[in-house]
Structure formats: structure tokens, C-alpha cells
Structure 1
Amino acid sequence: MERLPPEVILEIITRLPIRSLLQFRCVCKAWFTLAQDPYLLHNYQCRSTQINPCLILHSENTLHDKLHIIDEDHHHYNQAFPGKPNLPFNSAMPSFDITGSCNGFLCLTDTQVPDTSYIYNPFIGESIQLPPVIKHFTYQRVALGFGFDQVSKAYKVIRCVYCIPEPGSRAHRPFGIINSDISIHTLGTDSWRSLGKKPRHWLDWNSPTASVNGFLHWLTKAHKYKQSHDIVAFDFATEEFHQVPCPSCPSFKRNMYSLVELGGRLCAVVRVSYNGKVDVWVMKEYNMASSWSKDYILGEHAPVGLNLGLQLSDRMRNKWFSLKNVQVLCLMKTGEILIEYGRQAFACYDPEKAEFRDLNIHGLPNCFQSVVLRGNILSLQDSIQIQI
């Protein structure tokens, strides 16, 4: 390497998969310093948007929960062996949920103490704990959202907390909610700010969110007064909610669906059958009801490794889809759609050939929650904008 020009060395390093780059940093002090070069960091982050994202798997464990990283440099995830990052907060928070993700960072929340959350970079093992919350109810459900304000260039966490009745009480409200509060935290500050308003919509705290055009999208909860789910978006710049039109299709309101971002567009994955068949609706022009289009029809498929008899824990069972359903994760650079089945296995779907390709990933946990995440080698402290 000593004979190569510095610019060539940096260009080579920027093309390494993230796991190899992290190993490169650990060889010696000179290589560690080289890996901190601003040119390298900038170009590596730009390149991360041009390759397939990493897969982050969250699994439960008797002593403490674990995270697993699968990078894209294994023939499109095939023959990959998940890496296990160090979790510096495991002793203080042995059991957690992934409650948000943005630009290579995860938002993790304590399952036992839901007012405790961390922002964590799983690639370099750095984490920061969020400050104490403003308002807490004895019996509550919390919807957390983590995103990036493209105007102020700041990372923010929104917290919608819903107070539910005490067990055994008779509260006649839509799905039992008797009080609520919304607050927001800007990373780099030491407190939460109350938005001073009550939410017009009851966000579904168990459903996956989708980040598109700087907005974070939720589904609302259905109840006896309104059986269908609405789509609600939060703007991290204006700190306001707005409703997004759903497809004007009668069958859409009768089926369960989830939200996902595919190719920079908001998509709705509609469950058509209980055996894994789904339709994927794509919003071609943001916030225009007429632009919804059913672009993908994914038929029934049972990938290698799927065990329909597996018993899920209560935590995994509450995370939206059951074993017989699928979760559409992302659109890959090949044009294939990456899909998770039953929290156990993965497959890719080729829309042009209408064919499935099973992924042979070794060392997977028996059951997991999966999140797609762009590789990020930047420090949290360097990424957040400190507020005065």
C-alpha cells in the first residue's frame, strides 16, 4: 500500500463492505487514522446509498437480547454469516425493542421500562441514552418515531404516549384511550419539548413505519367507530402531522396492510390471503391519491427454513404479522424485492420473471425482527447537531 498514491488508497477503501472497513480500522493506528479521513467518510456514506442495505436482526435471549448484522457483500446476502455487534447498554437494558431507524442509526427502547431509549450505531458500537421523558402514565402505550430534519439537519425523536385504563376499569373510549401527550427530542439537547397538542389520530404503536420525503408515516389504529386504517405522516421540520390519502380501492379498506418505502416511494403492502399472498401498492407522486398503483402481486411462497409450527413469544407475536404472513423489506439494486417470512427466513422476488429466490443465510436465530439499515461509520457525536 505504501507505493500507491493516497487518493487511490482512499478510493479502494471506500469500496470495501462495511464489515471489512471496520476490520481495516483495527489493524493499526496508521490505518485507523486513515479510516477517519473526511474524504473517505463522506464518499463512503454517499456510496452506501448505491448498494444494498445491511440487514439488522433482533433476537430474544434468556439473558439479554442480541443484534445481528448481515452485510450486502455476500452474493446479495446468500452464504452470509451474521455478525454480532457489541451492545454497551446490555447490562442496563437486557431486553429491548427496535422502535425506529434512520441513516444507519437505531432507536432502541427498554421493554421493561418503556421510558428508557437509546440511539445506537450498530456498526461502530456507539450509543447515547435519551433524556428522561416529560410525561408518564401508569398504564400507557407509546409510539416512537426517529427521523431527520432536512431543514435544520438535526436528528429528532417524536414520542406519542397514550394513557389506557387500569386493568378492570370501564372506560368507554375508542380502544380504551383516556389521555395522550406528544413530545419531541432533538439529539444534542438535554430534554424533551412538549408539542402542546393532542394527537388527532391514534397511531398504531405496533405497526412498522416508513420514512419517505422527510416524513415518517404511521398507520392509525382501527376501532369500532372506524374499521379502516388511515395513513398519517409526521414532518420533522415543521413538527406537524398530516393525513396521507389511501388508495381508493374498496378491498383496500377490508384488508390488513403495512407501510414500507421502496425505491424512495411510499408503499402499502396489503394482505390478500392468510397464506402469504400480498399486493404492493405504490404511491407514484407523493400525497396524490390518484397516483396509487398496484405494481406488484406477490403470490404464496414458503422459503427454505420457514417453520409454520414455531411458537412465537408474546413480544414477537405482537409485532404486526404472524408466521403465515410476509414483511416486504426493501427494493434491491437488482430490481428484486427482499421479503421476510414468518420472522424466520428470507427470499427475493423478481417482478419481471415472477419468480422467488430463497436466501441461504447461515447462522440465523430461530426467530427475529428484521430491519434494513444503511451502513454508517460516522460517530453519533459528529452526526448530531448540538443545539445551544
Structure 2
Amino acid sequence: MTGWLEALERLSGSRAKAGLTRQLRPRPADDFVVDLAGNDYLGLSAHPSVVAAAASALAAYGLGATGSRLVRGSTDAHSLLEADVAAFLGFSSALVFSSGYLANLAAVRGATAVCDLIVSDAYNHASLIDGCKISGRRTVVAPHNDPTAVATILDAHPGQPAVVVTESVFSVDGDLADLATLHEVTSSRGALLLVDDAHAVGILGPGGAGGVAAAGLAGQPDVIVTATLSKSLGGAGGVVAAPEPFIRHLIDTGRTFIYDTALPPAVVAGVHAALQLTRDADDRRTVLTTRADQVVTRLTEAGFPVARPAAAVLSVLAPGPEAAVAWAADCRDRGVAVGCFRPPSTPDGSSRLRLTLNAGVPDEAFAHALDVIVECAP
């Protein structure tokens, strides 16, 4: 094959003209920007107890897991975390993956062992969309956050085993799915409900147990929950929580579990310590609630109407992809990190800044960051 590099350069040029070029920006360990871009919602990633637990496991186990979970990668630390996170989320069993992305791929594909139809929310995360694609099953995309539309789709396929796939708190705009109504729709029609709870765990529900728990659905036999360990828990990895037969199915058949090197024990131990802190982090959740009100008031008064976030994610529309990039860059130059979301990350084709609230940011720095965002607006 000749000319393939030239073809890639042409594609790169097309992306650049559309304002869709992306760049890696390595940050130093002593980076002092105000972080409203990362997902460390509770500010636990550098908590002394978390760091100490990770350091202790690092000394005990070494740097990596040294193999896949079914070979040498499963440690006592993995088993302890899985038991505790299952209880935390209200399910009988849980399985830890090396990333939330891989957990979602496995969960969606695993559900299609018994389901011929997938109904997927239009605003679902890329990992859920890719899970639908690799499953090989028919996928119908439902209008965003519309249980009535989901019911109509399921009714159009009577007797066909189905799984409905959604997020609890959607990762782009931060709005909350109506999980209770959605479960009424699925349960009355014999369908499964698979919920990515990544942006709700640690923030919503009793003790931060997530959006599924907040909706009263924890432990339901027709519900599957996935989540990352990299947001409120401040670490890395992903988890699937579900009835035990489904977890057993993933252990036996889940390709992203079987063939992937396990999450390092040091990370597992650090996440486990963060989980203990999360249960008693009502004070940090109160900070997030206060800041959600603060950011909505400040931006709305400045002429940028935003919806109040259901958890700790909200978006501010930008005029276009180039304007969003420039806005984020200007904020960064003034010491404030914000997310910049452009197509294809935004399913509606518009561009926006995404702000993530962090309970670890001091009050004065947070207020200053809001001023910078307003002042740098295009």
C-alpha cells in the first residue's frame, strides 16, 4: 500500500479546517491550575489515605499485576474491592476491569448473549456505542432521555428480548436520566436495563452509591450497572455490578476481561481506600451542591444560561468548535483548566465547554475560575 501517509495527512487537514484537531497537553506534577476539567469530583485522588494505601500495595505487589485476571492478575486487593463495591452499589456481585471503557464494552456485549435487540440513548458515551457495535445485535437509537420513546421502540418489537442502555448522569451535558420511569418501561416489557453510573457514583444516592441507588433500583434482578473508578473515586479502572450469573458470564466470556492485563494492585488499593472515604463524604457532596448553584448563578447572570447539573457536570455552549478551543485555551493561559467538547464527542453536533466541579478546589480559587471563564468568553 502506497500513499497511506499522504491520505492520513489529507484527513488531518480536513479535521483542522473543521476545528477538530486535538492535542495532548502533558501536565507536570506541580501543576497549579484550577481544575474544572478533570473528573476528581470529591477531590480524593491525592487524599493522604488514598495515597498511603496505594503506596503500601505498591511495595507489597510491585508495579503491575503481571498478567490478566485469569492468569496471575487477580490479587487479594482485587477480591476485596469487588466485594466492597458490590455491597456499596447494592448488588450481589461485581467485577473490576482495567478501565470503564472496557467494562462498558463487556457489559453491553455480555447482555446480548440473551438479548437480540439493543435500545441505546442518543447521547450515550462512546464506550456504550462501541459496545453496541461490537455486539453484532440490532441497535435502535432512542431520542435522548425519553422513556416514552423507549417504550414505543420496545412495543414495536414484541417478544424480542431487549436491553435498554443509558447513562444515569450524561457525560456531556450532565443531565439526569429518569431511571425510575425507564425501569417501569423495561420491567413491564421483560427487557433488561443497563446503566452507566460513572458520573453519579460518589455524588448521588445514599452515601454516594450512585444514580441507580438514588432511583431505588439497586439490586434489581433486571438491572446491570457499570461505573468507572476514575471519577469520584479518583483512581482508574471500571466495574460491572449485577446479579451473580451475569458476572459469572463475564468472567467466562468477556473478552475485555479475559484478554486484558489486570488493573495494578496499587491502583486497586487506592480506589478501595477512596471508596471508604466516599461513604462518609457528605460534607464534600454538600460542597458540590453549593458550587452547582454558584456556577449556574454566575454564568446565567453573565448571559450564559446553563441548566443546573444533576451531579457535577455541566456544559456551556460555544459558537463553534474554533471558538470553543480558543475559549478553553484562554482560560488555561489564565490558570483555569476547563473541558472543550466538539464533534464527534457532542452528539448534537454543537461545541461547548464542559465544566466539572471538584470539592478539592478552594472556595476562592473556584470563584476566581468562574470569573476567568466569563471574562474569556468569545
Q: Same fold (TM over 0.5)?
A: no
Return the structure number with greater strand share. Answer: 1
Return the structure number with greater helix share. Answer: 2
Q: Normalising by the residue count of structure 1, what TM-score does the alignment of the two structures yield?
A: 0.27
Could you say which structure has the greater relative contact order, defined with CA pairs below 8 angstroms and 6 or more residues apart? 2
